[in-house]
Structure 1
Amino acid sequence: MKFITSWIASLICLLTLAASPPAHSSPAPGLLDLYAHRAWTAAQGAPAQIQAITQTPDGWLWISTPTGLYRFDGVRFERHDAVNGHALRSSIVLPLHTAPDGTLWVGYRFGGASAFLGNRVRHYGADQGFPPGATHSFTVAPDGVTWVTTAAGLAWLDSRQDRWVRVGPEADFAPGATIWQVLFDRAGTQWVSTSRKVYYRRAGQARFQVASPANIALSSLAAAPDGTVWVSNGRDANYRLSTSAAAATAPPPKPELPGSGMWFDRAGTMWLLSETHVARVAPGSKAGDPRQQLAHDRGLSGMHPQTFYEDRDGTIWIGTVAGLDQFRPNRVAPLPPAADNLAPVVTPALAPGADGLVWLSDDNHSWLTGRDGVRHGPAGPAFWSSARGRDGRLWLGGWGGIWRAGDPQRTLITAPALAGQNDVRVDALAEDASGALWAACLNQPLQRHVPGSGRWDAPYPGLPQARIMALLSDSKNRLWVGYQGGRVALIENDTVRLVDAGDGQGIGNVQTIVERHGQVWVAGERGVARFVETVPGQRMTGAGHSSGARLETLRLADGRELRGVSGLLSTAAGDLWLRTHDGVVRIAAEQVQAFVRDRGAAPVPAELLGSEDGVSGNVQPTGPFPAIVAASDGVLWVSGTGGAMLLTPSAIRRETMPPAVDIRAVSSDGQARTPVSPLALPTGTNNLHITYTAQGLAAPQRTRFRYRLQGVDDGWQDAGDRREAFYTNLQPGAYRFQVIAANRDGVWNTAGATLDITIPPTFVQTLWFKALCALALLAAVALAWRWRLAQMARLIEARQLERLHERERIARALHDTFLQEAQGTVLMMHTAMAQIPPSLPARAAMERGIGYIEKAMIEGRDEVMGLRSSARADESLDAALQRYGERLAAGLPPGFRMHVRGTPRQLAPLVKDEVFAIGREAIWNAFRHAEASEIELDLVYTPGGLTLLVSDNGKGIPPDALTRAENGHWGLVGMRERAANIGATLEVGNREGGGTSLRLTLPRQYGAR
């Protein structure tokens, strides 16, 4: 049985067939086919009873409600009691209007208005001539004059005097009723609606006239593109206004259209609001089509839609009593109609030169169809594959064989007879330069139909045995064969080369192969790659792998995977369009060129059109392929399980203005901070949470953010669509937070928003504290050093005391033993010598021996004196020296005087002992050798150290004695050694006028204890 099952995905191929006369037409797509709808209610934070909507030049949407003024960025509703830092006069606002110069007008329920422009504000009330009563509307006339209506007046703003001028009886305007709205039609006629009648005056006239109908309840006005002006009663009727006077006694006219309000968008489409629903009426259509309506029970945010606004991007906003609704024009629209006369799965194939017509096929029939959904000519059989012949005509393949598209005779080339298959379907098709047809059938080898012979053969049995998914005969007469499993065979001059489809996991099962501008692209279930001949001219015979060819995989800059690429085309502009599981992907021509130039080294930016752009359904992974083609009029036909869709690249309305960026809130340590720059945070703050936003009304989920905190971040942080930033472990200092954003079309606001932040240090974080800590550390080190020195001094002192005690012990031992024994021996020798006559030689020898012993005793006594020459431990240096000098002066002729200057201080024991030894030796030498009458000792204590000066008025020192020891009497060498041992300097010399001086200088650091 010949059929195409209902799960087949779209196939797009190139066709060529002239159009036949139209057969019949179809109704237009429904409201939700053309517009993406979204509703916000209280559950999503939307305010209720929306009364007015406007958009300021920076892109923010402003909404007035009885509870206040709100700003909307596409994600969050924020209530504002001020605009640009200037407070509103009242939170109960009514009309909103954005003037051409960017001024935001806000009217109040209890009278008056405010005008906000940049950082300036102007408030208007009775003192400025503003009419009394609740403010109802603002309108800017073609000449730039601003008009206002209130419950009790109509006025215009005299900008030179900045005052409002009331309009009244002098202009035949005395309604005696509430004044609602001012409207200027395209002819320049001014219309004013009141609760009882509508007034008008033509351009250049000074007085108003009453329009028909009159004497009925009226409210809002609307001007149609054809010049017709409509008025609504605000409940259930819309009337066409006329400038012909109505008879006072005429019965109330019958409304021409139902509804509580009427508006026209920039495309001239009428929008009707009623108590329960919103309806769209396209030009040339009639009201009442249920497919053009959206009611509360089908997703409208609430009952009583009462406010209409079209923003700068063509998005329609409607306010209800319960929330806000958005109708955003789809960039991809379904083929009219989406479900009336076509199966949900279709197969489009291009017919170039046929005024943008394509062939569409479902599982039973095919039609030549235009973008308006009109079918041309009789229906043909269903097809699965297609290929353009060398003569420009179209071949179609399906169950049973191959035939020419549009051939009324339908001459069939019977499909090849394959073993085990009674009915064969042609899944892929191509025609080479010789006119041979190449066909792929399910799980069968590649088949060739030889021209003129009517025979089929399989000339390349060595090809892979996998399922063939795609065929292409390129401009170089090469045949490309794409297989399940990600392999590609290239046949050229009867030589076969096999190329793995990409690196790593590759592109998966090959689903389409396309040649464009000399480039061959291969697409599959895991991605897209470009064929590259790495070694031109190198070939491999048979079915071997080619080392001279490879496929460069295309990678996207945002990291998104290209999954299920079932269609690929390149437009005349050079853009690359892909049909994927996620939707339709566009890669701009310059990015394609960069990819080819850089040999695929870097990822490329891309644009995704998904379900939010009107792309519906999916494509089955088994075909038919491809699923996207470009018609001769530039319209792209996209296939999916939801039917055929149309995309006109040149008609896509791009968002050229960068999105406004705003820092919403700042918090630290769980406390909210006002995000006003510069922001000083409390002392000790170490964390930061910043929320930011950007105007992205059409597709807020596609708004992209980057931020950085100067002083912390080295570069920009890519936040994707995340609208908050977190920082921890912050140090005190000055920071600057910057955030930038891009809209869904990649237009960046590089200025973004900034916030200067300072975090004061705590006391322990200040430089003073750190300096104090450094000083404390140094003091601690110094104290430790002094403690260590004191400890070493105590150890040295203990060792010195031990040394002194040992010297005293040795001295006592020598005195009590050696000297006593020697003295006894001398006495015995004197006794014995007395018994020897003087004339005997023995007596002389005895006398010499006694002399030697006495000399040894004297030297021993001197040594014992040296051992015991140290000052006592409990005696100061000056006391010890004075005691020693006075003791010598008591038995010897010279006089001795001692002077102590400065404040005496205690010396280390070893130092004290060495200084005493040097002073003792100097005093002793002066007494023994100087032949002086006066000896003086000066001991001077200064902050820099200690000076010991011993001087006399004797005979002086021989010059040669200053550099040598003379029989041990002067001991200069020993004194110098002692001085060097304690870090002191010793100076010895003769005084002018006679005498000797010895000066010992000891720096303080060497003598301190």
Structure 2
Amino acid sequence: MAALLRLTPRWMRLVLHCGIAGAVWLFAANALALDRERSLAQLHHTAWTARDGAPSQVWALAQTRDGYLWIGGATGLFRFDGVTFERYATVGGTQLPSTNVTALLATPEGGLWIGFRSGAVALLKDEMLQVYSHEDERPPEIVLGFAQDHDGAIWVGTTRGLAVREDDRWKPVGVAQGFPEGERTRVLGVDRTGTLWASSVEKLLFLPRGEHVFRDTGQRLNDAVQIAQDAAGRHWIVETTRSVRPLAVARSGRVGEDEEIRVGSRAITFDRDGGLWIPTLGDGLRRISQPQQPGPISRIEAFTQADGLSSDRMFAVLEDREGNIWFGSDKGIDRFRHGDVVPVSLPPAYSGFTLMAGEGGDIWASSVSNKPLLQIRSDALIPHAPVAAVASAYRDPVGAIWWSGYVGLWRHYQSRFVLTPWPAGVRNGDWVLLTLHGDGNAGLWADIRGHGFKHFRDGKWLHMAPSHYPASATSAVFEDAQGRVWLGTLPDRLHRIEGGKTHTYTTKEGPNVGRVMAIGGRGPHLWVAGELGLGLYHNGRFSKIVAAGNDTLGSISGLVETAAGDLWLNDVQGAIRVPAAEVSQVLANPEHPLHYRRFDYLDGLPGAPQMVPSNFTVAEASDGRVWFATDNGLAWIDPGRLHHNPLPPPVRVRAVDVDGRPVSPGALLQLPVGAQQLRIAYTALSLSIPERVRFRYRLEGVDQGWQDAGTRREAIYTNLRPGHYRFRVLAANEDGIWNERGAGMEIQIPPPFYLTSWFLALCVLVVAGLLWLIYLRRLRVMEARLQARLAERHLERERIARELHDTLLQGIQGLILRFQAAIEKLPAQEPARVAMEGALERADDVLSEGRDRVQGLRAAAAPVSDFPHALASVGADLMHDAAADFQMRVEGMARPLDPLVHDEMFSIAREALINAFNHAQASTVTLELHYSAKALRLCISDDGRGIASEVLAAGVRPGHWGLAGMRERAARIGATLAFRNGVATGTEVELQVPAKIAYRPAVSGWLRWFRSLRQGSITPAADSR
């Protein structure tokens, strides 16, 4: 240290610069700093012990970047969100190496270093735990503390020396670096210059940033555990067995003692306002509000277990990101935070208060119990013993305050109390005074229970009551700016006394607030409060005030409208502040829903607001503070110093349960098939007043909009349909600052197998297959019926052919023979013979054509699957009886034909071949059959004499029906038929049938097998016909 201290001017400049930088930082964070002008008793303190689920024997505290408070101790590792303590034993399936945590360090990168008594070290980051427990990857012994320097290196002090983490290994620091080896070592901290401080058994050493060898300060210590800097840049050393003290930099080059605080401690912290917090090892808590001021420390506050601390043995301290101060003790943890409501400690047995503002910020507080009147000045209590058991008070126009006491009226003016006894007939037991109010001059009216109104003026009691005054006992009184007196009387009436007359307002025309408990206001308007809420008298009429949202105004025992225009109410659920801007809106529109802020026990209110009727349970002091009476004492609020938390709370999904079984939350949550219930536990990391953190969530795909969960920290969904969902949750802190980004997760619920796409597709295929089978069955039935009809048709044709052949043709043949015989008897030169021979030739032609027709009727249809063979047979037969050759060509793969198409095409082709062989005088007849994907084409051509042009034009030969019949058959099957002469000679007949008409539908193998079965079952029926 001597080498360091020889650079004293430079060192002091550096300290000064650090102090300035620290001051700037403190100013920026002032909104979240604890008010150092308040005593520890005036801060809001909460203790958690084992009965609250808190761990005990807490050695270390840390807050990670996500906002969680981490607690390490002899009972394990815990995290705390302000509401729930969670024990961390395993992370992502990896178990912690020990349950005894000795040190914690939260890094700016979001990681948490954990040191264990076993010597193991773990790094927790992004819900992943990396454990270093082997000898070659952990520090040499029990971990005592961590520090991270400004270059990001992690240093660790152990019971056997100092180590630094480099190249993913813990490397010991020893003599080569100027540090003692093998000794109990603590890493004390890193100051604002980046200097690392550490201690061995007796030495205090430091390592300036950028250097590699430690320097010895020359100081001899006794178990030093920490070094910290205050706002002025001074270093404070903490020892467990000696004291907490600053290290003064002297020109002599030595570090000496100054302003030593004789308490043993394990840790200290300087808050954002510069205050020093010292948890002690057996003597509770100490705080120094301004330790950076030079000179002896004059004020040290103490807070012990007797004041509510969890224990007097405290080991750890931490200031969180919201400015709250946390402590770890052997019994639990403690938190100190700002509270807008400051309670005032009073002597016991004070109750039933009446408040009246004094001068210079003083407040007067009386009690109906037999206790002295209190004057509260700068938080000091000044009792005034003669005045006791006060029930009401009144301030007259000259500023004197009148108090109703046990024996009479006390008047306080210019620091003097003057007693006026009760009037004759009023016993001390009847002292209970209901109200006091002025008479418009120098006197006052007193409503004494059981005696009615008594008038006091010029030092005398006048035994008369105005006739226009109400006879009922009064519960509240107020004299407005116009000099009118307003009285509330039992049970629920309100009266206005003006110009010697009284106007009584009923429930219908009045404020409708039940029993009137308080009246007040500034200017021409008037506020009336009662057991059923708040009313407003403005512009000559009353209106009932309605609270905004789902809140309601309950019983109100006191009110005051301040000089700043705010309206303060003592509501049964807490103190209420209505901002001046909101008051203006209500005055402009009394139906405007009232927005306000409520203060309760979470803000420091010591008890429930006092509901006993009194002149005043709320009062505004001259310094602007507003005072409230509760059933457990008094409290005040400074409207000019209300705390505001500008930090939106980080939001996290904490846990997920599916049908009661926990699952690990992640970016994508895969739920099991058939999940019935999904429970999502979420949290927000606002540690100041977590009880007021509000949430709203939404499951996209289920919720139409955001669901207001209030302060509830879980969402439950049941019977979710399979599909993809997105869960989002947002949170707002106690001041309504929302984290609009929030947290979320994707949720995938797989369908059961019977709802999967492949199963549905399979069902579709099965149904389609069944429908196809039904179609095939129907098709086969129709085919069988058609085959039966065709068979009947062929049988009928054969019968007709037989009949024609046996009767008509045989008869004609006989006639021709007889005519031939007769002709032979005529002379050759006989003209009649020539005519008759011509007729006989014509008869032979007709007979030949008839035989052809009969032969066509008798021709049975070939099998539908062998159409080319059937045509070839016809051509071969005709060629055998004629002089022409026959050629046939087939293109494409032969396919089964529709039976009807087969039959009609066969008939057309046969007719065309007969004509070509018998009438064309051709030498060659050619048949072409072409199977294609679009159509079936049949073309018959010859090289004969062709067809006369007039026949082609007419489409029919006179006296012949062959061409006409061919056209009819083609039209019947939707085919096109064309007749044309060849390019050189001969005739072409072309028939073309669309594929969808000509071909039978293709059938797959197993369907073909099924169809063959069906054919087997149908064939006998067809044969039977």
TM-score past 0.5 threshold? yes
Q: In the TM superposition, what are the counterparts of 1:142-153 in structure 2 within 5 Å?
A: 145-153=195-203
Match of residue 165 from structure 1? 215
Match of residue 799 from structure 1? 785
Match of residue 569 from structure 1? 560
Q: In the TM superposition, what are the counterparts of 1:645-724 in structure 2 within 5 Å?
A: 645-661=635-651, 692-706=682-696, 718-724=708-714
Q: Deviations over 1:665-721 (max 9, x none)?
A: 667798877778x66869989897665544444433233345567788776554444
Of the two structures, which has the highest relative contact order with CA contacts closer than 8 Å and spacing of 6 or more? Answer: 1
Go from structure 1 to structure 2 and tell me whether the alpha carbon gap of 1:887 and 1:391 turns closer, same or farther (over 3 Å shift).
farther
Q: Tell me which of 38, 50, 56 is aligned to 2:58.
A: 50
Aligned 8 A contact 1:190 1:203 in 2: no
Pairwise CA distance, 1:155: 1.0
Go from structure 1 to structure 2 and tell me whether the alpha carbon gap of 1:856 and 1:380 turns closer, same or farther (over 3 Å shift).
farther
Q: In the TM superposition, what are the counterparts of 1:439-838 in structure 2 within 5 Å?
A: 456-457=465-466, 459=468, 469-472=475-478, 474-475=480-481, 509-516=515-522, 520-528=526-534, 530=536, 550-555=543-548, 557=549, 559-589=550-580, 604=595, 606-610=597-601, 613-620=604-611, 623-624=613-614, 626-661=616-651, 692-706=682-696, 718-724=708-714, 729=720, 740-750=730-740, 787=773, 790-815=776-801, 820=806
Go from structure 1 to structure 2 and tell me whether the alpha carbon gap of 1:453 and 1:944 turns closer, same or farther (over 3 Å shift).
same
Pairwise CA distance, 1:779: 6.4
1:993 maps to 2:984: yes
Q: Tell me which of 872, 876, 889 is aligned to 1:882.
A: 872
SS in 2 for 1:639: strand
SS in 1 for 2:792: helix
Go from structure 1 to structure 2 and tell me whether the alpha carbon gap of 1:204 and 1:718 turns closer, same or farther (over 3 Å shift).
farther
Distance 1:929 1:472 in 2: 136
For 1:800, the aligned partner's letter is L
SS in 1 for 2:350: coil
Aligned 8 A contact 1:443 1:468 in 2: no
- Greater Cα offset, 60-69 or 40-49: 60-69
For 1:39, the aligned partner's letter is A
1:374 maps to 2:374: no
Q: Deviations over 1:577-615 (max 9, x none)?
A: 332233223344555566667866667463432266242
Aligned 8 A contact 1:619 1:641 in 2: yes
Aligned 8 A contact 2:393 2:404 in 1: yes
Pairwise CA distance, 1:564: 2.5
Q: Percent identity?
A: 30
SS in 1 for 2:906: helix
Distance 2:148 2:735 in 1: 25
Pairwise CA distance, 1:362: 1.5
Distance 1:589 1:350 in 2: 21
Distance 2:961 2:343 in 1: 126
SS in 1 for 2:905: helix
SS in 2 for 1:644: strand
SS in 1 for 2:974: coil
Match of residue 357 from structure 2? 350
Residues paired across the two proteins, number:
892
For 2:111, the aligned partner's letter is G
Aligned 8 A contact 2:558 2:617 in 1: yes
The answer for unaligned runs of 5 or more in structure 2 is: 1-37, 89-100, 122-141, 291-295, 827-831, 1001-1025
TM-score with structure 1 length normalisation?
Answer: 0.69
Q: Tell me which of 185, 203, 224 is aligned to 2:249.
A: 203
Match of residue 984 from structure 1? 975
Distance 2:820 2:66 in 1: 138
Q: Tell me which of 897, 920, 941 is aligned to 1:907.
A: 897
Distance 1:333 1:34 in 2: 5
Pairwise CA distance, 1:492: 9.0
The answer for unaligned runs of 5 or more in structure 1 is: 1-29, 212-226, 235-259, 534-538, 540-545
For 1:1005, the aligned partner's letter is K
Go from structure 1 to structure 2 and tell me whether the alpha carbon gap of 1:207 and 1:398 turns closer, same or farther (over 3 Å shift).
closer
Pairwise CA distance, 1:913: 1.3
- Greater Cα offset, 359-368 or 894-903: 359-368
Pairwise CA distance, 1:180: 5.5
SS in 1 for 2:691: helix
Match of residue 910 from structure 2? 920
Aligned 8 A contact 1:369 1:375 in 2: yes
Pairwise CA distance, 1:912: 0.8
Pairwise CA distance, 1:908: 1.2
Distance 2:594 2:804 in 1: 107
Distance 1:443 1:975 in 2: 131
Q: In the TM superposition, what are the counterparts of 1:181-200 in structure 2 within 5 Å?
A: none
Distance 2:842 2:467 in 1: 141
Aligned 8 A contact 2:43 2:339 in 1: yes
Q: In the TM superposition, what are the counterparts of 1:957-976 in structure 2 within 5 Å?
A: 957-959=948-950, 961-967=952-958, 969=960, 971-976=962-967
Match of residue 173 from structure 2? 125
1:946 maps to 2:972: no
Match of residue 999 from structure 2? 1008
Q: Tell me which of 108, 111, 120 is aligned to 1:85.
A: 111
Go from structure 1 to structure 2 and tell me whether the alpha carbon gap of 1:87 and 1:309 turns closer, same or farther (over 3 Å shift).
closer
Distance 2:339 2:638 in 1: 11
Aligned 8 A contact 1:962 1:972 in 2: no
Pairwise CA distance, 1:154: 0.7
Pairwise CA distance, 1:948: 0.3
Aligned 8 A contact 1:54 1:96 in 2: no
Match of residue 252 from structure 1? none
For 2:793, the aligned partner's letter is R
Distance 2:932 2:582 in 1: 88
Go from structure 1 to structure 2 and tell me whether the alpha carbon gap of 1:34 and 1:70 turns closer, same or farther (over 3 Å shift).
same
Aligned 8 A contact 1:401 1:425 in 2: no
Distance 1:604 1:552 in 2: 11
Pairwise CA distance, 1:490: 7.8
Go from structure 1 to structure 2 and tell me whether the alpha carbon gap of 1:884 and 1:276 turns closer, same or farther (over 3 Å shift).
same
Match of residue 10 from structure 1? none
Go from structure 1 to structure 2 and tell me whether the alpha carbon gap of 1:518 and 1:313 turns closer, same or farther (over 3 Å shift).
farther
Aligned 8 A contact 2:625 2:637 in 1: yes
Q: Deviations over 1:226-258 (max 9, x none)?
A: x74222468xxxxxxxxxxxxxxxxxxxxxxxx
Distance 1:183 1:818 in 2: 132
Distance 1:204 1:459 in 2: 84
Q: Deviations over 1:314-341 (max 9, x none)?
A: 75544433333345565434434241xx
Distance 1:905 1:502 in 2: 102
Distance 2:247 2:874 in 1: 135
Go from structure 1 to structure 2 and tell me whether the alpha carbon gap of 1:931 and 1:570 turns closer, same or farther (over 3 Å shift).
farther
Distance 1:874 1:181 in 2: 106
Q: In the TM superposition, what are the counterparts of 1:13-162 in structure 2 within 5 Å?
A: 34=42, 37-42=45-50, 44-53=52-61, 61=69, 63=71, 65=73, 72-75=80-83, 76=85, 83=106, 84-85=110-111, 87-88=113-114, 90-91=120-121, 92-95=142-145, 107-112=157-162, 125-126=173-174, 128-130=177-179, 132=181, 133-136=183-186, 138=188, 145-161=195-211
Aligned 8 A contact 2:864 2:897 in 1: no
Q: Tell me which of 302, 305, 312 is aligned to 1:294.
A: 305
